Structure 1
Amino acid sequence: MTLDPGALLLAFLPLPITLALSLIDLRRRILPNPLNLLLFSLGLAVAALRNPDARILAACVAQSAAAFLLLWGLRALYARLRGRTGLGFGDVKFVGAATAWIGLGGLPFLILIASMTALVALAGAALAGRRVTRTFRLPFGPFLAIGLHAALLAGHVP
């Protein structure tokens, strides 16, 4: 499978933003709102350039909101059941912003890739001698970024 240059450009267009988000999350364990908003806005701009129909843009916004609400609900449910949060609120906002790029159809792929790469990182930490327990914290933003780029490379666009 070969990707045309336009698909490659699309897949790597958000890279400066996702790289910044990843580095900040690794250092400070937060995903800043301005960068999540920039990722969302650029995703909407790309969608509008690809198809200037206002209904498509409205659908992108609605899908982003649906993804945000879905992850927010899962975050709240987990916190209620376990008594602690498992997913940061910045991660929830990142997923909402990323959905502007890949649509709801690409969300399962993004989550799958992010989860698999995070599990590989956890296994690597355990193999390196780190104690991985229930309280082990791993910034999830970098893995969400990998999932977004993988979804774009796989052709998930709204």
Structure 2
Amino acid sequence: MNLDPGSLTLTLLPLPITLALSVTDLRRRILPDPLNLLLLGLGLAVATMREPEPSALAACLAQAAAAFGCLWGLRALYGRLRGRTGLGLGDVKFVGAATAWIGLEGLPLLILIASTAALAALALAALAGRRVTREFRLPFGPFLAAGLHAALLLGHAP
């Protein structure tokens, strides 16, 4: 773990956006496009400041697009196989935007942390007496935000 002031600043920089996304997802079950676009734009700006060559920005944008495409494909496949949506489109857009911050190499960690935290939340809900059935919906945005910040804290940046 790298806790120098620069990496800590980088970890905290997207926090106002991810907090707003998380609160909105908890309240309204939506990750608004303007906030996802803001997260993407700021991530691209940070990547450009770190390496100002146009090819670096293009690579960062390509990685974000690849992550979006991969998650969108998984979302579509799940919908076709199960007949219902499992992952919201806002979550897919968030992953694309987050990839601008952490690159494709940080994406597995983000997804691992988000998924593990969400499963723990489901387990706690079940232990608290809530019925966790197929209809139980859990906003995934706050968990994705935690995964992004953990990946940044652990030094994943394009």
Which bracket does the TM-score occupy, shorter chain normalised? over 0.9
Q: How does 1:2-41 map to 2 (within 5 A)?
A: 2-41=2-41
**Residue in 1 aligned with 2:142?**
142
Cα RMSD (Å) of the superposition?
0.7
Distance 1:2 1:113 in 2: 18
Q: Percent identity?
A: 79
Amino acid at match of 1:93: K
Deviation at 1:24, TM superposition (A): 0.2
Deviation at 1:135, TM superposition (A): 1.4
Q: Tell me whether 1:59 sits opposite 2:59 in the alignment.
A: yes
**Residue in 2 aligned with 1:50?**
50
Deviation at 1:4, TM superposition (A): 0.4
Distance 1:99 1:79 in 2: 23
Amino acid at match of 1:62: A
Distance 1:118 1:49 in 2: 33
Distance 2:12 2:61 in 1: 21
**Residue in 1 aligned with 2:96?**
96
- Deviation track 1:24-81 (CA, whole Å, cap 9, x = no partner) reads 0000000000000000000000000111011110000000000000000000000000
Aligned CA distance change for structure 1 residues 65 and 130 (closer, same or farther; 3 Å): same
Deviation at 1:2, TM superposition (A): 4.9
Distance 1:2 1:76 in 2: 37
Alignment TM-score, normalising by the size of structure 1: 0.99
What SS does structure 2 have at the residue aligned with 1:26?
A: helix
What SS does structure 2 have at the residue aligned with 1:30?
A: coil
Distance 1:157 1:45 in 2: 13
Distance 2:6 2:126 in 1: 40
**Residue in 1 aligned with 2:107?**
107
Structure 2 unmatched runs, 5+: none
- The aligned length equals 158
What SS does structure 2 have at the residue aligned with 1:119?
A: helix
Alignment TM-score, normalising by the size of structure 2: 0.99
Deviation at 1:140, TM superposition (A): 0.3
**Residue in 2 aligned with 1:123?**
123
Distance 2:50 2:64 in 1: 17
Distance 1:128 1:57 in 2: 46
Q: Tell me if the contact between 2:43 and 2:98 (Cα under 8 Å) persists in the aligned partners.
A: yes
**Residue in 1 aligned with 2:86?**
86
